[in-house]
C-alpha cells in the first residue's frame, strides 16, 4: 500500500505491505463548509450571548488577532468581524505573538491585512500593534492564584470589549489551542509567559484536558487554568467575544461565536470527535507534523511527536518527517530548547529540574521521549551534525528504513500518523 505524508510543501510516498500496516491516522474527514464567509456570517448572527455589533457600540474595543504561526484564514475572520465594529469609539488591534518572533514577514503581512480590511469597511479610530514580549510597554496587573505575574501589553489594558479571532486544535500542554491563548501568552510579557509555561512540566498539563472541557473529569490542567484566570483578570468587567474556527488545510470544518466558554467547549467537542484517537501502541511509528508551517523548524515539528508519542511502545522506533526549512528553532528559543538538548539526556532532565527558563519544557519532554524509545530517525533538511547532536538519527532514504524494519521482523506492525500537530493520540 502507498502512504502519502506531508513534508514541507510537498507530499512523500511510502510503500508498506498491507500486512505490516497497523493503521493510518490523520484528522477524520469532517464535513467541509463550502462557503467560509457565509458560515462566519451565520455564526456571528447567532452568537452565544449578545450580538457583537450591539456590545461594541460607543465602546473601546481590543481585537486580538493570532500571528503568522497559525494557519487560520486570517482574512476571512477579519473580514467577518470588521464590519460589525463600525459603531465602536476606538479599536485597538493586537497581533498576539506571545514569545514568538515579532518582525516576521508573516506578521507584517497580517498588519497590512488588518489595515486593508479596516479601510475597506471604513473603520474610524483604529490602531495596530504587534505584541513584543520584551520591548512593548507593559502594565502589571497583579498575579494569578498560582503566582504567575500578570504583565500585559499596555495597549490591551482597559477596554470595554475584547474580540478574539481564534483557531482551535489539540495542544500538547495547554490542552487545546483556543481563545484563552490569545491573552496568555498572546499579549503578555516574557516573565509572565515563562511563569505560566513552567507548568508544562506538570503531568496534568497535557492534551485532552482543559477547564472548559465538556467532561468534568477532563478539566484538570493547571497551565490552562492559569490562562483562564489570566483572561479574567485582564478583561475585568469587560465583555469578551470570540469568533473561533477549526480548519483543515485552509478549509473550514467548524465555526462558532459569542461568549468564550460555550464556544471553546463546543470546539473541544468537535476536536475530540475529529482529531482524537485511541490506539494500541506498536513498536514502529511514522510521524509527519503535517508539512509547512507545522514542520517549519524542529521546535514547531516536535509538537507532532508529543501529541502522538503514546502510539509507540517503550524501546520502539519513530521515523519522523520534518523539513525544518527555518532551522532548529526561532532565534529566541534556540538557547533553552536546542542548546539544552545537545547534552547527555540525563543532564537535560536534571538541568531543568531546578529553576525553569522559557522553552526548556520542550527540551525536557524531548529528552523524556528519547530515553523511552530506542531511536528517532529523522528525515529532514537539517544538517546531519545538527540532527545527531540532538540525539536523533538523520536518514536520507525513508523507504530503506521501512524495508529494514520489515526485514528484521516480517510481522512488524507500522502505524502511520499524518498531520500530527493537529491530532491527539491516547494509548489503550
Q: How confident is the model at residue 290 (pLDDT cuts 50, 70, 90)?
A: very high
pLDDT over 80 (residue 146): yes
Does domain 36-274 fall into CATH 2.40.33.20? no
Q: What is the pLDDT of residue 70?
A: 82
CA atoms within 13 A on the CB side of 28: 13
Q: What is the pLDDT of residue 29?
A: 78
Look at the pTM and tell me if it is higher than 0.85.
yes
pLDDT over 90 (residue 176): yes
pLDDT, averaged across the chain: 95
Give the tens place of pLDDT for each residue, 228-274. Answer: 999 999 999 999 999 999 998 778 999 999 999 999 999 999 999 99
Return the percentage of the chain with pLDDT > 90, whole number: 91
Does domain 2-27+277-427 fall into CATH 3.40.50.2020? no
Give the tens place of pLDDT for each residue, 5-33. Answer: 999 999 999 999 999 999 999 998 778 88
Give the tens place of pLDDT for each residue, 116-140. Answer: 999 999 998 999 999 999 999 999 9
Q: How confident is the model at residue 72 (pLDDT cuts 50, 70, 90)?
A: confident
DSSP letter for each residue of 242-290: EEEEEEETTEEEEEEEESHHHHHHHHHHHHHHHSEEEE--EEEEEE---
Give the tens place of pLDDT for each residue, 38-71. Answer: 999 999 999 999 999 999 999 999 999 999 888 7
How far the first Cα of the chain sits from its last, in Å, is 26
How many other CB atoms are found less than 10 A from the CB of residue 315? 10
Q: What is the mean pLDDT of residues 389-400?
A: 97
One-letter-per-residue 3-state SS of 313-336: EEEEEEEEECCCCCCCCCHHHHCC
Domain definitions of the chain by residue range: 2-27+277-427, 36-274
How many other CB atoms are found less than 10 A from the CB of residue 237? 5
Q: What is the mean pLDDT of residues 80-103?
A: 96
pLDDT over 80 (residue 353): no
For strand 414-417 and strand 21-25, is the pairing parallel, antiparallel, or unpaired?
parallel
Q: Could you say which DSSP state residue 377 is in?
A: E
Distances (CA, A) of 47 to 20, 37, 72, 166: 48, 16, 20, 15
Distances (CA, A) of 376 to 294, 312, 405, 412: 18, 11, 13, 17
298 near 390, Cβ under 8 Å?
yes
pLDDT over 80 (residue 354): no
Amino acid at each position: 500500500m502507498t502512504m502519502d505524508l506531508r513534508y514541507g510543501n510537498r507530499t512523500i510516498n511510502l510503500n508498506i505491505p498491507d500486512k505490516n500496516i497497523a493503521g493510518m491516522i490523520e484528522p477524520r474527514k469532517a464535513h467541509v463548509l463550502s462557503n467560509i464567509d457565509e458560515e462566519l456570517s451565520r455564526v456571528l448572527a447567532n452568537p452565544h450571548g449578545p450580538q457583537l455589533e450591539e456590545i461594541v457600540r460607543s465602546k473601546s474595543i481590543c481585537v486580538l488577532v493570532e500571528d503568522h504561526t497559525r494557519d487560520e484564514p486570517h482574512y476571512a475572520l477579519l473580514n467577518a468581524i470588521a464590519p460589525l465594529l463600525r459603531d465602536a469609539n476606538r479599536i485597538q488591534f493586537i497581533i498576539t505573538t506571545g514569545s514568538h518572533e515579532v518582525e516576521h514577514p508573516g506578521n507584517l503581512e497580517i498588519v497590512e491585512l488588518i489595515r486593508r480590511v479596516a479601510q475597506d469597511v471604513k473603520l474610524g479610530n483604529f490602531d495596530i500593534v504587534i505584541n513584543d514580549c520584551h520591548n512593548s510597554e507593559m502594565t502589571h496587573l497583579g498575579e494569578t492564584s498560582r503566582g504567575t505575574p500578570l504583565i500585559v501589553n499596555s495597549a490591551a489594558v482597559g477596554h470595554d470589549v475584547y474580540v478574539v479571532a481564534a483557531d482551535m486544535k489539540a495542544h500538547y500542554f495547554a490542552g487545546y489551542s483556543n481563545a484563552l491563548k490569545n491573552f496568555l501568552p498572546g499579549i503578555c510579557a516574557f516573565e509572565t509567559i515563562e511563569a505560566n509555561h513552567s507548568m508544562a512540566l506538570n503531568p496534568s498539563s497535557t492534551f485532552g484536558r482543559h477547564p472548559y472541557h465538556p467532561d468534568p473529569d477532563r478539566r484538570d490542567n493547571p497551565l490552562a487554568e492559569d490562562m483562564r484566570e489570566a483572561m479574567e483578570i485582564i478583561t475585568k468587567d469587560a465583555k469578551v467575544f470570540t469568533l473561533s474556527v477549526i480548519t483543515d488545510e485552509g478549509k473550514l470544518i467548524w465555526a462558532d461565536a459569542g461568549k468564550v466558554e460555550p464556544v471553546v467547549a463546543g470546539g473541544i467537542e468537535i476536536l475530540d470527535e475529529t482529531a482524537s484517537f485511541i490506539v494500541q501502541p506498536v513498536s514502529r511509528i511514522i510521524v509527519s507534523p503535517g508539512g509547512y508551517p507545522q514542520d517549519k523548524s524542529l521546535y514547531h515539528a516536535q509538537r507532532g511527536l508529543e501529541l502522538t508519542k503514546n502510539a509507540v511502545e517503550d524501546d520502539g522506533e519513530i521515523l519522523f518527517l520534518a523539513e525544518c526549512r527555518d532551522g532548529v528553532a526561532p532565534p529566541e528559543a534556540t538557547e533553552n530548547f536546542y542548546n539544552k538538548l545537545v547534552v547527555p539526556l540525563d543532564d537535560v532532565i536534571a538541568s531543568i529540574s531546578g529553576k525553569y527558563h522559557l522553552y526548556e519544557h520542550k527540551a525536557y519532554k524531548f529528552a523524556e521521549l528519547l530515553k523511552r524509545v530506542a531511536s528517532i530517525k529523522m528525515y529532514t533538511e537539517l544538517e546531519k551534525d545538527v540532527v545527531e547532536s540532538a540525539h536523533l538519527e538523520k536518514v536520507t532514504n525513508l523507504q530503506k528504513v521501512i524495508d529494514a524494519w520489515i526485514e528484521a521482523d516480517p510481522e512488524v506492525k507500522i502505524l502511520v500518523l499524518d498531520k500530527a500537530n493537529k491530532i491527539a493520540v491516547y494509548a489503550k
